Amino acid sequence: MARNFRVSVNGKSYDVAVEELGSSSASAPAPAAIPAPVAVAPVPAPASTPAPAAPVASAPAPAGGAPIISPMPGKIWKMHVKEGDVVTEGQLVLILEAMKMENEIFAPTAGTVAQVRCKEGDSVNTGDTLVVIA
C-alpha cells in the first residue's frame, strides 16, 4: 500500500508516493535479489612503467608559526596574500582548484604572513604547507 507525502526542497513542494516493502501482506511484491559483488584481481603494472616519485616533504613551519596545509591535491588558482601581509582569523588566503571546483582556503588564526610556499599555477598535494602565519 502506497502512502502519499508532500516533501519541500529549497522552497519547492513535491508530492511523492512511497510504498513500504517487506510487509507481511501477501499482495506485496517480493524484493528483487541484488547480485553479490564480484572481486576483481588487481592487474600488475607492466615492468616498463617507472615507479611513482616519492612525495616531497614540506619544510617544517617556523617555531610559533601556524601553517596552512592543503586539504586536497589541486592547483593554486588565486593567491590573495603575500609575505608580510597582516591577516585576520577567517580571512581568505587563497583559492585551490580541485576537480574543477574552487575551494576557498582561510587563515586559521590572525597574524602576519611569514612564508608563502606556493604561487598561482602550482600543483600541490594533500598535506603540503601552502602558507605560514606567524
First-to-last alpha carbon distance for the chain, in angstroms, is 64
What per-residue confidence (pLDDT) applies to 62?
Answer: 55
Please give the order of strands across the beta sheet that includes 66-69. 66-69, 129-133, 111-116, 86-87
Q: What is the pLDDT of residue 128?
A: 95
Distances (CA, A) of 121 to 54, 75, 78, 86, 94: 21, 6, 8, 23, 12
User: How far is Cα 70 from Cα 74, in angstroms, rounded to an integer?
Assistant: 9
Report the relative pairing of strands 66-69 and 12-19 from DSSP bridges: unpaired
Q: Which domains does the chain have, with CATH numbers?
A: 66-133 (2.40.50.100)
Q: Cα separation of 38 and 66, whole Å?
A: 47
- Give me the mean pLDDT over the 82-111 stretch: 94
Q: Residue 79 pLDDT more than 80?
A: yes
Q: Full-prediction pTM beyond 0.85?
A: no
Report pLDDT for 20: 75
Question: What region, left, alpha or beta, does residue 84 occupy, with left being phi > 0 and alpha being psi -120 to 50 degrees?
Answer: left
pLDDT digits (tens, 9 = 90+) for 6-53: 888 888 888 888 887 765 555 555 556 666 666 656 666 666 555 554
| Residue tagged 591577516 (cell numbers) | 87
How far apart CA 105 and CA 111 sit, in angstroms, is: 16
